[in-house]
Amino acid sequence: MNNPQTITLALTGASGMPYGIRLLEMLLREGKQVYLLYSKVAQIVAQQEMNLALPSSAKETEAFFNHRYQVPDGQLRVFGREEWFAPVASGSNPADAMVICPCTMGTMAAVAAGLSQNLIERAADVMLKEHRPLIIVPRETPFSVIHLENMLKLARSGAVILPANPGFYHHPQTVQDLVDFVVARILDHLGVKHDLIARWGMDN
Protein backbone atom coordinates (compact mmCIF):
# COMPACT_ATOMS: atom_id res chain seq x y z
CA MET A 1 0.00 0.00 0.00
CA ASN A 2 1.09 3.60 -0.46
CA ASN A 3 2.13 5.64 2.58
CA PRO A 4 -0.32 4.49 5.28
CA GLN A 5 -0.78 7.01 8.08
CA THR A 6 -2.44 4.86 10.76
CA ILE A 7 -1.15 1.40 11.61
CA THR A 8 -2.32 -1.07 14.22
CA LEU A 9 0.52 -3.09 15.73
CA ALA A 10 -0.29 -6.14 17.84
CA LEU A 11 2.32 -7.92 19.96
CA THR A 12 1.45 -11.46 20.98
CA GLY A 13 3.26 -14.08 23.03
CA ALA A 14 5.43 -15.71 20.38
CA SER A 15 9.20 -15.51 20.59
CA GLY A 16 10.52 -12.63 18.50
CA MET A 17 9.60 -9.57 20.56
CA PRO A 18 12.65 -7.62 19.25
CA TYR A 19 10.97 -7.60 15.82
CA GLY A 20 7.80 -6.03 17.18
CA ILE A 21 9.53 -3.43 19.32
CA ARG A 22 11.88 -2.41 16.50
CA LEU A 23 8.90 -2.12 14.16
CA LEU A 24 7.15 0.13 16.69
CA GLU A 25 10.24 2.33 16.88
CA MET A 26 10.49 2.67 13.10
CA LEU A 27 6.80 3.45 12.63
CA LEU A 28 6.93 6.16 15.26
CA ARG A 29 10.17 7.52 13.80
CA GLU A 30 8.45 7.87 10.42
CA GLY A 31 5.63 9.85 12.00
CA LYS A 32 2.93 7.20 11.71
CA GLN A 33 -0.07 7.09 14.01
CA VAL A 34 0.24 3.76 15.81
CA TYR A 35 -2.46 1.86 17.67
CA LEU A 36 -0.63 -0.61 19.91
CA LEU A 37 -2.23 -3.78 21.29
CA TYR A 38 -0.49 -6.51 23.27
CA SER A 39 -1.40 -9.69 25.08
CA LYS A 40 -0.56 -10.72 28.63
CA VAL A 41 1.85 -13.36 27.35
CA ALA A 42 3.56 -10.69 25.23
CA GLN A 43 4.45 -8.96 28.49
CA ILE A 44 6.15 -12.16 29.69
CA VAL A 45 8.04 -12.60 26.43
CA ALA A 46 9.16 -8.96 26.37
CA GLN A 47 10.61 -9.39 29.86
CA GLN A 48 12.29 -12.70 28.98
CA GLU A 49 13.76 -11.71 25.61
CA MET A 50 14.49 -8.01 26.08
CA ASN A 51 14.37 -7.38 29.82
CA LEU A 52 11.54 -5.01 28.89
CA ALA A 53 8.79 -4.55 31.45
CA LEU A 54 5.61 -3.60 29.61
CA PRO A 55 3.10 -2.07 32.04
CA SER A 56 -0.33 -3.62 32.33
CA SER A 57 -1.97 -0.19 32.07
CA ALA A 58 -2.46 1.17 28.56
CA LYS A 59 -1.83 4.75 29.72
CA GLU A 60 1.40 3.75 31.46
CA THR A 61 2.56 1.96 28.32
CA GLU A 62 1.82 5.03 26.21
CA ALA A 63 3.86 7.19 28.57
CA PHE A 64 6.68 4.64 28.60
CA PHE A 65 7.07 4.52 24.82
CA ASN A 66 6.44 8.24 24.36
CA HIS A 67 9.41 8.87 26.64
CA ARG A 68 11.54 6.10 25.14
CA TYR A 69 11.12 7.27 21.55
CA GLN A 70 10.48 10.97 22.20
CA VAL A 71 7.22 11.13 20.28
CA PRO A 72 4.44 13.66 20.84
CA ASP A 73 1.34 12.79 22.83
CA GLY A 74 -1.33 11.31 20.60
CA GLN A 75 0.93 9.72 17.99
CA LEU A 76 0.87 6.44 19.91
CA ARG A 77 -2.33 5.08 21.41
CA VAL A 78 -2.38 1.89 23.43
CA PHE A 79 -5.54 -0.13 24.00
CA GLY A 80 -6.35 -2.98 26.37
CA ARG A 81 -7.45 -6.39 25.13
CA GLU A 82 -11.05 -5.78 26.20
CA GLU A 83 -11.30 -2.12 25.16
CA TRP A 84 -14.15 -2.58 22.73
CA PHE A 85 -14.67 1.14 22.12
CA ALA A 86 -11.21 1.43 20.55
CA PRO A 87 -11.27 2.62 16.92
CA VAL A 88 -9.75 -0.67 15.72
CA ALA A 89 -12.79 -2.63 16.92
CA SER A 90 -15.05 -1.24 14.21
CA GLY A 91 -15.08 -1.28 10.44
CA SER A 92 -16.36 2.29 10.55
CA ASN A 93 -12.95 3.53 11.74
CA PRO A 94 -10.26 1.00 10.81
CA ALA A 95 -6.56 1.69 10.62
CA ASP A 96 -4.94 1.84 7.19
CA ALA A 97 -3.08 -1.40 7.92
CA MET A 98 -2.34 -3.87 10.71
CA VAL A 99 0.65 -5.99 11.66
CA ILE A 100 0.69 -8.84 14.19
CA CYS A 101 4.35 -9.16 15.10
CA PRO A 102 5.25 -11.58 16.53
CA CYS A 103 2.18 -13.73 15.98
CA THR A 104 1.48 -16.86 18.00
CA MET A 105 -0.06 -19.89 16.35
CA GLY A 106 -2.99 -19.48 18.74
CA THR A 107 -3.67 -15.94 17.57
CA MET A 108 -3.31 -17.02 13.96
CA ALA A 109 -5.79 -19.85 14.48
CA ALA A 110 -8.28 -17.51 16.17
CA VAL A 111 -8.05 -14.95 13.36
CA ALA A 112 -8.37 -17.68 10.72
CA ALA A 113 -11.52 -18.92 12.48
CA GLY A 114 -12.96 -15.41 12.86
CA LEU A 115 -13.34 -15.77 16.63
CA SER A 116 -12.80 -12.11 17.65
CA GLN A 117 -12.62 -12.98 21.35
CA ASN A 118 -10.32 -10.08 22.22
CA LEU A 119 -9.34 -6.76 20.66
CA ILE A 120 -6.33 -8.17 18.80
CA GLU A 121 -8.45 -10.81 17.09
CA ARG A 122 -11.27 -8.35 16.42
CA ALA A 123 -8.92 -5.75 14.92
CA ALA A 124 -7.51 -8.39 12.56
CA ASP A 125 -11.02 -9.52 11.65
CA VAL A 126 -11.89 -5.91 10.80
CA MET A 127 -8.88 -5.68 8.48
CA LEU A 128 -9.96 -8.77 6.58
CA LYS A 129 -13.62 -7.84 6.25
CA GLU A 130 -12.78 -4.27 5.19
CA HIS A 131 -10.13 -5.50 2.73
CA ARG A 132 -7.37 -3.56 4.47
CA PRO A 133 -3.75 -4.82 4.60
CA LEU A 134 -3.08 -7.36 7.36
CA ILE A 135 0.48 -8.62 7.81
CA ILE A 136 1.03 -11.63 10.05
CA VAL A 137 4.56 -12.37 11.25
CA PRO A 138 4.72 -15.90 12.70
CA ARG A 139 7.78 -17.00 14.66
CA GLU A 140 7.48 -20.76 15.01
CA THR A 141 9.34 -23.80 13.73
CA PRO A 142 8.56 -26.31 12.49
CA PHE A 143 5.06 -25.59 11.23
CA SER A 144 2.44 -28.27 11.71
CA VAL A 145 -0.16 -29.06 9.08
CA ILE A 146 -2.68 -27.12 11.20
CA HIS A 147 -0.38 -24.06 11.21
CA LEU A 148 0.09 -24.27 7.45
CA GLU A 149 -3.62 -24.67 6.79
CA ASN A 150 -4.37 -21.62 8.91
CA MET A 151 -1.75 -19.60 7.02
CA LEU A 152 -3.23 -20.70 3.70
CA LYS A 153 -6.72 -19.77 4.86
CA LEU A 154 -5.56 -16.32 5.91
CA ALA A 155 -3.55 -15.78 2.72
CA ARG A 156 -6.61 -16.65 0.68
CA SER A 157 -8.56 -14.13 2.78
CA GLY A 158 -6.11 -11.37 1.85
CA ALA A 159 -3.53 -11.43 4.63
CA VAL A 160 0.21 -11.36 3.99
CA ILE A 161 2.07 -14.16 5.79
CA LEU A 162 5.56 -12.84 6.45
CA PRO A 163 7.55 -15.30 8.61
CA ALA A 164 10.34 -13.88 10.74
CA ASN A 165 13.02 -15.48 8.57
CA PRO A 166 15.99 -13.13 8.08
CA GLY A 167 18.18 -13.36 5.00
CA PHE A 168 21.96 -13.30 5.03
CA TYR A 169 22.88 -11.74 1.68
CA HIS A 170 23.31 -8.36 3.40
CA HIS A 171 26.14 -9.87 5.49
CA PRO A 172 24.68 -9.28 8.96
CA GLN A 173 27.23 -8.59 11.67
CA THR A 174 24.94 -8.40 14.69
CA VAL A 175 21.64 -9.77 15.96
CA GLN A 176 20.22 -6.29 15.34
CA ASP A 177 21.08 -6.65 11.65
CA LEU A 178 18.98 -9.83 11.51
CA VAL A 179 16.09 -8.11 13.29
CA ASP A 180 16.30 -5.14 10.93
CA PHE A 181 16.11 -7.43 7.88
CA VAL A 182 12.70 -8.73 8.92
CA VAL A 183 11.44 -5.32 10.02
CA ALA A 184 12.56 -3.87 6.69
CA ARG A 185 10.46 -6.42 4.81
CA ILE A 186 7.44 -5.53 6.94
CA LEU A 187 7.94 -1.83 6.28
CA ASP A 188 8.27 -2.53 2.56
CA HIS A 189 4.90 -4.27 2.53
CA LEU A 190 3.38 -1.37 4.47
CA GLY A 191 4.82 1.16 2.04
CA VAL A 192 6.78 2.90 4.80
CA LYS A 193 10.18 4.35 3.87
CA HIS A 194 13.26 3.15 5.73
CA ASP A 195 17.01 2.78 5.46
CA LEU A 196 17.46 -0.32 7.60
CA ILE A 197 19.18 -2.51 5.00
CA ALA A 198 20.80 -2.14 1.61
CA ARG A 199 18.57 -3.02 -1.32
CA TRP A 200 19.40 -6.12 -3.36
CA GLY A 201 21.54 -5.21 -6.35
CA MET A 202 22.56 -1.89 -4.85
CA ASP A 203 25.26 -2.32 -2.18
CA ASN A 204 25.66 -6.10 -1.88
Q: Which residues of 125-143 are buried (b: 16+ CB within 10 A; e: fewer)?
A: bbbbeeebbbbbbbbbeee
Going from N- to C-terminal start, the domains of the chain cover 6-190
Q: Summarize pLDDT for 126-150 with one digit per residue, the tens.
A: 999 999 999 999 999 999 999 999 9
Rounded distance, CA 82 to CA 118, Å?
Answer: 6
Helix H or strand E segment including 77: strand 76-79
Best CA proximity match to 38, nearest among 90, 77, 87: 77
Threshold 0.75, pTM exceeds? yes
For residue 2, the model assigns a pLDDT of: 67
Q: Return the pLDDT at 201.
A: 80
What is the reported pLDDT for 118? 97
Q: What is the pLDDT of residues 104-124, one digit of tens each?
A: 999 999 999 999 999 999 999
For residue 96, which of 160, 33, 2, 4 has the smallest C-alpha distance?
Answer: 4
**Which CATH architecture best describes the domain 6-190?**
3-Layer(aba) Sandwich (3.40)
Smallest Cα–Cα separation from 194: which of 77, 32, 72, 6?
32
Give residue 200's pLDDT: 84
Residues of the chain with pLDDT under 70: 1-2, 203-204
Q: Specify the pLDDT at position 155.
A: 98
The pLDDT score that the predictor gives to residue 1 is: 59
CA 164 from centroid of its chain's CA atoms: 11
What are the Cα distances from residue 7, in Å, to 1, 41, 47, 188, 203? Answer: 12, 22, 24, 14, 30
